[in-house]
Amino acid sequence: MIQGPRGVSPAKTPAIAALPRRRFLQTVAASAAAVALPRQAWATSAVTPFKISLAEWSLHTAIRAGDLDNLDFPRVAREEFDIEAVEYVSVFFKDKARDATYLTDLDTRCRDHGVQSLLIMVDGEGDLGDPSDDARGKAVENHLRWLEAAKRLGCHSIRVNAKSQGSYAEQLALAADGLGRLGQLAQTFGLNVLVENHGGLSSNGAWLAGVMRRVGMANVGTLPDFGNFRLNGWDEPKEVWYDRYQGVTELMPFAKAVSAKSHEFNDQGLEVRTDYERMMKIVLNAGYRGYVGIEWEGEKPGEYEGVRLTKRLLERIRDELA
């Protein structure tokens, strides 16, 4: 459960004290039920296993080509795909994190199209597991503006990376330190800090789960990605992969968001690299009932059709599991 602002005691809230006994008990019961669920699960229906969101990276080619602007992302999510929730990428509005006018405009566009902002995927702000204490502190400081932006947009989290250097144990300790510092800062905003398996040791499910246990904070969790389990560098010719099903299984106990990465589909509408039905059973068996974010990263077909194919597959599985 995300902690609220320090010094605020729910037991001393005057509005609760003034309620009639019957309504008071109903309020307590409702509050207890909400506390028992992750924030992102509150909006999901009791009869719907999960809802579908759209990660902005799915349209990165169009954005980088200038064919789509970050401000139009919520409209496109709704009008092109009928998707009600979005996940931003910081690099697409990296100079606007503290631009109140810009963020208000973006939030207004979300509201106009009935779209919910879920999280911001933050990259390029320094290594939270840097061996240098000063550099780790600077990386935490660099993420502050994205916490501010996420709060303004009504997100529940920012997604960060756990990049580090050194041995297995050294990197675990360093990443846990940086994430713990950032998690404490995020608590003051009522936000989560989520780590994605994103290359290197972060793509080792056991290692990242160990980082989560080392941090031990309710608002520091994971964002399991179905596809990012390559352990070595992306420019290295020999690929070394961690088992994606094992990795997602290991990360789901700490998950507050999920990324349904897709690359290629066959004639039956199935994703070629990932058994989506198997993966979604892992996700749901872990008790997760939040949004599952489409993240198309393939080359053929184009981005818009790739998103549609991924959504269609997730809807088919959702209907079968409902």
pLDDT the model gives residue 240: 93
Same domain membership, residue 129 and residue 87: yes
Same domain membership, residue 193 and residue 65: yes
H or E element that contains 160 = strand 157-160
- Residue 279 pLDDT > 70, yes or no? yes
pLDDT the model gives residue 18: 33
Range(s) of the domain holding residue 53:
39-321
State the Cα–Cα distance between residues 136 and 195, nearest whole angstrom: 16
Same domain membership, residue 92 and residue 227: yes
Same domain membership, residue 3 and residue 17: yes
Where does 238-304 show beta strands of DSSP type E? 258-262, 291-296
Same domain membership, residue 87 and residue 11: no
* Residues 170, 201 contacting (CB under 8 angstroms): no
pLDDT the model gives residue 290: 97
Between 180 and 12, whose confidence is greater? 180
| Cβ density class 181-216: b for 16+ within 10 Å, e for less | bbbebbbebebbbbbbbbbbbbbbbebbbbbbeebe
pLDDT the model gives residue 237: 76
Model confidence over 41-60: pLDDT tens digits? 334 445 789 999 999 999 99
Model confidence over 181-213: pLDDT tens digits? 999 999 999 999 999 999 999 999 999 999 999
Same domain membership, residue 45 and residue 30: no
The domain total for the chain is: 2
Same domain membership, residue 122 and residue 26: no
Same domain membership, residue 175 and residue 43: yes
Q: What is the mean pLDDT of residues 97-114?
A: 98
Among candidate residues 137, 162, 44, 152, the one with its CA nearest the CA of residue 97: 152
Task: Give the model's confidence band at 321: pLDDT under 50 very low, under 70 low, under 90 confident, else very high.
Answer: confident
* Residues 139, 125 contacting (CB under 8 angstroms): yes
Same domain membership, residue 222 and residue 97: yes
Q: What is the mean pLDDT of residues 74-81?
A: 98
Same domain membership, residue 209 and residue 260: yes
pLDDT the model gives residue 68: 98
State the Cα–Cα distance between residues 87 and 293, nearest whole angstrom: 8
Model confidence over 112-143: pLDDT tens digits? 999 999 999 999 999 999 999 999 999 999 99
Question: For the whole prediction, is pTM greater than 0.75?
Answer: yes
State the Cα–Cα distance between residues 191 and 104, nearest whole angstrom: 19
pLDDT the model gives residue 46: 53
Same domain membership, residue 295 and residue 191: yes
Both structure tokens of 278? 């198997």
The Cβ of residue 251 has, within 10 Å, a number of other Cβ atoms equal to 25
- Residue 35 pLDDT > 90, yes or no? no
pLDDT the model gives residue 226: 98
